[in-house]
Structure formats: structure tokens, C-alpha cells
């Protein structure tokens, strides 16, 4: 049995499962594995050091899969912003047909992508932001609940409320994001009004994810309580895996100190080193509450096949069995 939705039709994919863009993780290796398994793999643009390196990574992905894949471009306010327009041009020049945007004021990027016939999925954490993106002309929304890894926004609305609240108002197709990792989650997302799921953390704990086995095993060992919310007082909340560095940084932040007091603990270089050397306590790394439902490190093919088989079983047997 296949599950057909507006998302699978729009993106030309077999299963309504999308791999979210993830810094340092969304490489051609993972994106191609997800796409080959019938989902939509996504390369993270800013993981590549330059726009030309992104072009090369897109070319490399095409040698690994002949299925559709996309590119994520996340726009974050920063002191020294990367050359977003050049990365955007690299995506367009490479003939990419699907882009996931996220972050701050995406209008100019959305406009430029749409001029080139690219499907844009915008990731957001609030109904008002979803409606704003819909007015902007994006093709689909990825609505990201409080359970998610990374930036859950400042409203703290979990998926069980956020997804149907968005579905009540948003007319374009929606992916449910944040806290998804199995067939139960997929069926729940469809029941709540979404037309597919976007998974980040779950795809980190796969054979093809380009991170150290020690980090993958930490996700298996962790439970649903093993995350920390940092940067709350700076109004830039981030959910990360709970480790010694995160606990120390949060304690300093809660004592009222400015960001500069924790910058050495949370810098991206240190986090990247941890993903490479496999020490879960080396730096900050991003993970969601879904860790509590991760019990193995399968290939992307095995994971997606299992999610679909589980979803089918729930739809045909468990739920059907409740009908009097």
C-alpha cells in the first residue's frame, strides 16, 4: 500500500517522508540515501564552505541518486552573514527543483526561487509565520513543533496543537515536523491535517548519516528527557542534546550572564568536532525529544520501509479495529 498525498504528488516522491536540512549532517550521502529509499533527501547549503562547494556537492548527489532531492537554505541573522545570494544562485544554476527555506525574512529568496520554477517548502514554528509564508507564495509549509531539535521558536506549542491549528488556516500542503520518527508519528501527522512528515534527528541515527557512531549511539541511549533548551533568555531558543557542555552553558545563561559568557562553550566549530570525534560531551549538538523513540541505527531504506509498513498496519488494522 502506498500513501499518496499532495506532498508526494508535488515533490514526485514515493513516500510522504522528508529529511530536514541539518547543519553538518545534510550531505549528498544522507540526501541520496533518503531519496533512494523513496523519501525526499535534502542537502544543507551552508554545510558547504562556499557556493562552488555546494555546486560540487549537488553534482555528487546526482551520481548517487536519480530520484528527486532538494537543498535547504536557512537564513539566520548574524554579524557576518554568509553570501546567501551566491548560495541561492548556486542552487538555481544547478537546476535544483525543490528548496527548503527556513529562518529570517525569506521573501527575496522565495521570489528568486519561484522565478525559476522551484518548489519552495518553508519551515516555521508558528501559525502566523506559516500564513505569512503562504502569502509570500511558497508551495508548502513545514510546521515545526516544540518537540523539535534546533530552533522551536518562543511560543512553546507542541505538535499536537500546532499542526491542527495550522491545518485549520493554511491552504497549501503541510509537512509535520518535530518529534517524528516512526509509523505512529506519520499516521498521527496525517490525522492532524499534515500531508507528510519531516524528520531530522531520526535520520541522524542512520547508517548513512555522516556523523560519528558515538553520537548515533548516544541518540539510541538517550531518552525523551535528554535535551536542553538554551538561549531562552536571548530569545533565540535552541533545543540540543543534554550533555555536560549544554548543562554548563544553560547554568551560566540562567545566572543572567550575556551570550559572550557562553560563546566558547557553544561555538559551531566545537560542536562539529564532537560530531566527527564521537564524544557526546565535546560540544553542543542538536537533537530532539524523538531520541526517546530511537532504538537502533538502521539504513535509511530499512527505516523508511519500516515506517511505511508500521503506518499501513495502524491504518488497516489497529484503527479499523476500533470502528464498531
Which tens digits make up the pLDDT trace of 269-301? 999 999 999 999 999 999 999 999 999 999 999
Are 232 and 172 part of one and the same domain?
no
- The count of structural domains within the chain is 2
What residues make up the domain containing 240?
Answer: 227-286
pLDDT of residue 76: 86
The per-residue pLDDT for range 62-116, each reduced to its tens digit, is 999 999 999 999 998 777 899 999 999 999 999 999 999 999 889 999 999 999 9
Same-domain pairing of 52 and 90: yes
| Residue 71 in domain | yes
CA triplet 28, 34, 36: central angle to 5 degrees?
A: 95
Pairing between β-strand 174-177 and β-strand 119-124 as defined by DSSP bridges: unpaired
pLDDT for 80 equals: 86
Do 170 and 115 share a structural domain? yes
Are residues 281 and 303 located together in one domain of the fold? no
In the 8-state DSSP scheme, what is residue 224?
A: T
- Output the pLDDT for position 112: 97
Q: Is residue 215 part of a domain?
A: no
Asked whether residue 1 is assigned to any structural domain, the reply reads no
Q: Say how far apart CA 62 and CA 250 lie, in whole Å.
A: 41
Cα distance between residue 289 and residue 299, in whole Å? 21
Per-residue confidence (pLDDT) for residue 77, from 0 to 100: 75
Residue 219 located in a structural domain: no
Taking 50 as the pLDDT cut, the residues of the chain under it are none
Residues 240 and 101 in one domain: no
Are the C-beta atoms of residues 134 and 101 closer than 8 Å to each other?
no
- Which of these, 17, 64, 321, lies nearest to 187 by C-alpha position? 17
One domain for residues 280 and 178: no
Helix or strand run (H / E) with residue 60: helix 51-64
**CB-based burial label for 172 (10 Å; 0-12, 13-18, 19+):** middle
Amino acid at each position: 500500500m502506498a500513501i499518496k498525498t499532495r506532498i508526494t504528488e508535488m515533490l514526485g516522491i514515493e513516500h510522504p517522508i522528508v529529511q530536514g536540512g541539518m547543519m553538518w549532517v545534510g550531505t549528498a550521502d544522507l540526501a541520496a540515501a533518503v531519496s533512494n529509499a523513496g523519501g525526499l533527501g535534502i542537502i544543507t547549503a551552508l554545510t558547504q564552505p562556499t557556493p562552488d562547494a555546494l555546486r560540487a556537492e549537488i553534482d555528487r548527489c546526482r551520481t548517487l541518486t536519480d530520484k528527486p532531492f532538494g537543498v535547504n537554505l536557512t537564513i539566520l541573522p548574524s554579524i557576518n552573514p554568509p553570501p546567501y545570494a551566491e548560495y541561492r544562485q548556486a542552487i538555481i544554476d544547478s537546476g535544483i527543483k525543490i528548496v527548503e527555506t527556513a529562518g529570517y525574512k525569506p521573501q527575496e529568496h522565495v521570489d528568486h526561487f519561484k522565478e525559476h520554477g522551484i518548489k519552495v517548502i518553508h519551515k516555521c514554528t508558528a501559525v502566523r509565520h506559516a500564513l505569512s509564508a503562504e502569502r509570500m507564495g511558497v508551495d508548502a509549509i513545514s510546521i515545526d513543533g516544540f518537540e523539535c531539535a534546533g530552533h522551536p521558536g518562543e511560543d512553546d506549542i507542541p505538535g499536537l496543537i500546532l499542526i491542527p491549528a495550522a491545518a485549520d488556516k493554511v491552504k497549501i500542503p503541510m509537512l509535520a515536523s518535530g518529534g517524528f520518527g516512526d509509523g505512529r508519528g506519520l499516521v498521527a501527522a496525517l490525522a492532524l491535517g499534515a500531508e507528510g512528515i519531516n524528520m531530522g534527528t531520526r535520520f541522524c541515527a542512520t547508517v548513512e548519516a555522516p556523523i560519528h557512531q558515538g553520537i548515533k549511539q548516544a541518540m539510541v541511549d538517550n531518552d525523551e528527557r535528554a535535551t536542553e533548551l538554551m538561549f531562552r533568555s536571548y530569545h533565540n531558543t535552541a533545543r540540543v542534546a543534554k550533555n555536560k557542555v549544554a548543562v554548563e552553558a544553560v547554568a551560566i545563561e540562567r545566572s543572567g550572564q550575556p551570550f559572550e559568557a557562553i560563546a566558547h562553550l557553544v561555538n559551531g566549530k566545537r560542536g562539529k568536532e564532537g560530531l566527527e570525534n564521537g564524544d557526546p560531551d565535546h560540544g553542543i549538538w542538536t537533537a530532539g525529544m524523538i531520541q526517546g523513540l530511537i532504538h537502533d541505527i538502521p539504513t535509511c531504506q530499512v527505516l523508511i520501509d519500516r515506517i511505511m509498513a508500521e503506518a499501513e498496519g495502524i491504518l488497516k488494522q489497529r484503527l479499523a479495529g476500533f470502528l464498531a
